Amino acid sequence: DAKTTQPTSMDCAEGRAANLPCNHSTISGNEYVYWYRQIHSQGPQYIIHGLKNNETNEMASLIITEDRKSSTLILPHATLRDTAVYYCIVRYTGANSKLTFGKGITLSVRP
Amino acid sequence: DTGVSQDPRHKITKRGQNVTFRCDPISEHNRLYWYRQTLGQGPEFLTYFQNEAQLEKSRLLSDRFSAERPKGSFSTLEIQRTEQGDSAMYLCASSQRVSGANVLTFGAGSRLTVL
């Protein structure tokens, strides 16, 4: 699986957009980009995934660069409840479909 | 369906005792995963099942660990002769395909403390 690189932490003000970057320069053409988050003392929660195109759902938007070597997760209006560890994961969807988590990025949303 | 259920949520045991965790996945999901997470780290893969078949085991899954999914529904993870290093959150997930990708839904986890 391609390796991902994320900053250790970042913060943003409540109500503002949170842009969480992820580098995956060794990604291959059949690998998806997934984002999960983990709020303290809970299990990880799926947010969004994409292959080539930008994606949006009710939680977030995923912007993938044209060369697919990096992506940005955007939380358009961050709230205090979005404070969590966010994991960017790249994974080939095949028979062996486990996800490998790194340390993620800790997002702190301040009032 | 209420998602992935794990039981117990918390377990405190003495070193050397055996413990068992149970996971009930989302009913229509045929894949089930176990992960372990220690403080400050991301979840680490332990093993996964497709239906009742255990298809992959991590090297982290020592001989003291055994996982089963006898009828392709719920799963159990047993740790024998627990050690203090086994203290961790044990997470279960099940999965379905969403837009061509394999999306995991996690339970809240079972926290193990070995004294």
As a whole number of angstroms, the distance between CA B109 and CA B21 comes to 10
Q: Do A91 and B55 touch (CB under 8 A)?
A: no
Report the pLDDT value the prediction gives residue A67, as an integer from 0 to 100: 94
Which helix H or strand E contains B46, and what residues bound it?
Answer: strand B44-50
As a whole number of angstroms, the distance between CA A47 and CA A33 comes to 11
Residue B38 confidence (pLDDT) above 90: yes
Residue A1 confidence (pLDDT) above 60: yes
Looking at every residue in chain A, the average pLDDT score rounds to 92
Q: Do B109 and A42 touch (CB under 8 A)?
A: yes
Distance from CA of A15 to the nearest CA of B (A): 27
As a whole number of angstroms, the distance between CA A15 and CA A100 comes to 31
- Residues of B with a Cβ under 8 Å from any A Cβ are 4, 31, 33, 35, 40-45, 48, 55-56, 91, 93, 95, 98-109
Report the pLDDT value the prediction gives residue B1, as an integer from 0 to 100: 55
Q: Do B99 and A45 touch (CB under 8 A)?
A: no
Report the pLDDT value the prediction gives residue A18, as an integer from 0 to 100: 97
Q: Do A104 and B99 touch (CB under 8 A)?
A: no
As a whole number of angstroms, the distance between CA A76 and CA B9 comes to 33
Mutate to test the interface with B, among A58, A59, A64, A97 (most CBs of B within 10 A): A97
Average pLDDT value for residue range B44-52? 93
Average pLDDT value for residue range B58-83? 93
Residue A94 confidence (pLDDT) above 80: no
Which helix H or strand E contains A29, and what residues bound it?
Answer: none
Residue B2 confidence (pLDDT) above 80: no
Report the pLDDT value the prediction gives residue A98, as an integer from 0 to 100: 81
Residue B60 confidence (pLDDT) above 60: yes
Q: Do A46 and B105 touch (CB under 8 A)?
A: yes
